[in-house]
Structures are given as structure tokens and as C-alpha cells.
Amino acid sequence: MNLRELVSALNDFASPSLAESWDNVGLLVEPSPPHAVNTLLLTNDLTEEVMEEAVQKKADLVLSYHPPIFTPLKRVTWKTWKERLVVRALENRIGIYSPHTAYDAVPHGVNNWLTKGLGACTSVPLHPSTAPSSPAEGTHRVEFCADAQHLDAVLSKIKGIPEISCLTTLPARVEGEEQTRVSLTCSQKALLEVVALLSQNSLLYPKTEILLLQKPLLPHTGMGRLCTLSEPLSLSDVIQRVKAHLQLPHVRVALGAGRTLESPVKKAALCAGSGGSVLKGTEADLYLTGEMSHHDVLDAVANGVSVILCEHSNTERGFLSELRDTLAIHLQNKINIIVSDKDRDPLQVA
């Protein structure tokens, strides 16, 4: 596949617009076009060892769940390991694409895969995503009625205000008089100017309606998941299920106040990776994530919530095998998709 065609298909699979605003997602490194992709290498972290693997396996594109370029690079030299990744990628004509939190949000992404470690359950996003392009412009709608005496002057001034769109006029009858109903969409900044303008006219301002435009929620899409188990399980059983799903010999556990290993778990809140900010304040029997700060764990425990920590990338990496299969279908088996053998969590129990 041509790289640009492939990137378009990857963006369709999980729109970058679903990623968190602070994230750096999409195509990060692009060899000079045209660039054909025959082999796609999947990895959770693009380390130098994984880059060497990509070179040896003649990968044309690396999909790295975590973006290897996050903090902006001021130069590309051989001095730091992330700079060297870019150098080696371009020298060997290897593109780099990262989806990160876009894959966290989608229904067929990392967090839904993580829920499978709990067994039969239903889940909803903890922080639902909103439709990225609805409304396309503006945050507020302003509507008011004006008579012929004031209409032209008001419209002339409104059209001079930046960040106003969808300006429409319709005939209306107000208290038996023929008037014109004006409707416009504007930004928060423009709203202040519109209100200031209309408030100068004692006839217009009392008839003004201001509506906040809220983007619709996307079903089954968003950060984190709140899972309701079909049948309550003991915390001990949940721990064993999670270890089996993630193929880990050990996890770290903090017992909530008043809880034991035999305490029942009916509701579990989870977030792949670093879940402290996503899980914080959620009412549940259990928090499941890769890592949380010491103080976030203390807060959870004090509130009677038990915590399972599996290390950051251990809650993400297993998804790559499922991703390989779903992407193969999405891309109609047009390219060879392989999962890195060298990718691993940097931490181990000694």
C-alpha cells in the first residue's frame, strides 16, 4: 500500500481527533514520497532495539502505540536515543505512526481489550468522547428578533465581528408585528461582542436567546472503562484472571480500607497505562491500571477501593496481537503485519 493510503486507512480505524489534546498522534516520521508499505511492525514502545528489529525485518512502517516523539525535538543528531530513532528511520526509509490515546478511546481499542481480563462484564467509558466535528464551528447560538427599523444596522455591525458563522434571517411575527428572526453561531470570544452590541438596544436585548452548543457523545467511546461484572468475584479471583490475561507472574495490589482478598468485586474501573487521573473519584470496588502515584493509591485505599497495578505497558502490550488481526481485516490483508519480538516493559521483578 502507498503510505498515504495506509495512513488514511489507519486514521479511519481510530480517528486521531479522538486522542487527548496533549497527545502527539498520527504520522510522525515520513520518508520522502512515494513510499510503499509492504510490512507494518507493531510495537508498544519504539526503542532502539525495536528499531533495529524493524530494519532487520525490512519493515516499511512502524506503528508505535506510544509516540516516540513527544517533547519537540530542537535538532536531529546522534546524541540522544530519540533523535537516533528518527535518523535510523529516515536512513532506512521507515515511517513512524502513533495512535496512543486514540486507541484508548475507540470501542475496539486498548481499554476494551483490558476489560476481557475481568471475564463477562458490561462496560461504559469513564470519560465519554464527544463528536469531534459537531458543531463544526462555534460554541454558542444567538437568536433575536428585530424590526425593519433596526435590522440593517444590527446586521451590518454583526457581520463585522470575527468568529461568527451560520448567520441566517427568517420572517417572524412577534406580538402581531412583522419582524425578522436572526440566528447566528459564534465563538465564546465573539459572544461577548454580540451581547455587548445587542445590550445597547433596549428593544433587541430582552428578546435575545443564547444557547450553548454541546457536542453529542460518541457511543462506547472515551477514556477508561467502568465495568460491571455479570457475577461478583472475589478480589483474589480477579487478580488471577488479570495475571492470566496479561500473562504476568506478579502484580501489585493495595487492599481498600476494610477489604480483604476475599471481598467481592462487582464494579471495576480500569484504564490502560497510567490511570490515576482517569480513575480518580470513580465509585468502584476496584481500580485496575498500569501505574498510579503513591498518593492516588492512598486516596483510593482510604475510600475503600482496592487497586491492582500491573506496570504501565503491561496493560497495553497484549493488545497488539488482537490489533494485528483486526487491522489485517480492516486493511483487507493488503500488507504483512507483524508484532515486535523485542518490545517489552522496562521494569521487571528482581
**221 touches 129 (CB < 8 A):** yes
Is 316 annotated as a binding-site member? Answer: yes
C-alpha span between 167 and 155 (Å, rounded)? 9
State the Cα angle at 24 between 22 and 30, rounded to 5°: 165
**44 touches 104 (CB < 8 A):** no
Is 295 annotated as a binding-site member? Answer: no
C-alpha span between 337 and 62 (Å, rounded)? 10
Amino acid at site 3: L
C-alpha span between 343 and 341 (Å, rounded)? 6
Is 66 annotated as a binding-site member? Answer: yes
Instruction: Please compute, for residue 227, the number of CA atoms within 13 A of its CA located in the half-sphere on the CB side.
Output: 27
CA nearest to 85, candidates 148, 19, 8, 77: 77
Which of the 8 DSSP states describes residue 316?
Answer: T
Could you tell me which residues are annotated as the binding site? 66, 104, 312, 316
Could you tell me which residues are annotated as the binding site for a divalent metal cation? 66, 104, 312, 316
